[in-house]
Amino acid sequence: MFKSKSKIVMVLGLILISLVGGYLTLQRKKTEKANVSKLVESLNKAFADEWLAYYQYWIGAQIVSGPMQSEVIAELKEHAIDELRHADMLAKRIIQLNGIPILEPKQWYEASNCGFLVPTDPNIKKILQQNVKGEQCAISAYKKLLETTKDTDTTTYQMIHEILANEIEHEKDLLNLLKVL
């Protein structure tokens, strides 16, 4: 009698443990899914920034005018290529995470962290200053992303680390040009 009672208690205990285990796994999966979709959203914001940064440099290189024009144009074009490469890296990572990179260019403005500074003045210093602002914004956005991913996603962390190093270099290049103008 005692034996069968304790057996029932044991079985009930096991059922309870397995139910709690299942519930916790489900909750963990839900949290992981929510975290990944939040990360994809942040990566898409950075993706929008990169396209706008690409255009900021590209259009700046077309219209800029002033001293050292050819050196500045070469630098702006080089940075534009880097920004496009960053957009490419971000799109690939978003897809790896089962997300979709922003499909419509008009959403770039809405999603962007850093926006776009319309280069109405082609003065070489003004153009460079606008690009410095863009880089400073990108650096702070990537630093936040680095913090978000450092303990949770090594692949994204390493990619952001690489992009951030480029943005810091870009800012330095622009500030050096502004110094000699």
Binding stretches for Fe ion (CB under 5 A) = 50, 83, 86, 167, 170
State the minimum distance, in angstroms, from the CB of residue 141 to Fe ion.
Answer: 10
Which lies closer to Fe ion via its Cβ, residue 75 or residue 83?
A: 83
Is the distance from CB of 49 to CB of 114 less than 8 angstroms?
A: yes
Rounded Cα distance between 166 and 90, Å, is: 14
List, in sequence order, every beta strand (DSSP E) within the chain. none
Is the distance from CB of 124 to CB of 159 less than 8 angstroms?
A: no
State the minimum distance, in angstroms, from the CB of residue 98 to Fe ion.
Answer: 23
State the minimum distance, in angstroms, from the CB of residue 12 to Fe ion.
Answer: 58
109: number of CA atoms within 13 Å, CB side?
4
Which lies closer to Fe ion via its Cβ, residue 99 or residue 134?
A: 134
Which lies closer to Fe ion via its Cβ, residue 50 or residue 75?
A: 50
Instruction: Write out the two tokens for 69.
Output: 């024009």
Helices (H) and strands (E) in the chain, counts: 5, 0
State the minimum distance, in angstroms, from the CB of residue 129 to Fe ion.
Answer: 14
State the minimum distance, in angstroms, from the CB of residue 173 to Fe ion.
Answer: 9
Which lies closer to Fe ion via its Cβ, residue 20 or residue 175?
A: 175
Which lies closer to Fe ion via its Cβ, residue 32 or residue 147?
A: 147
Using only the alpha carbons of the chain, give its radius of gyration: 25
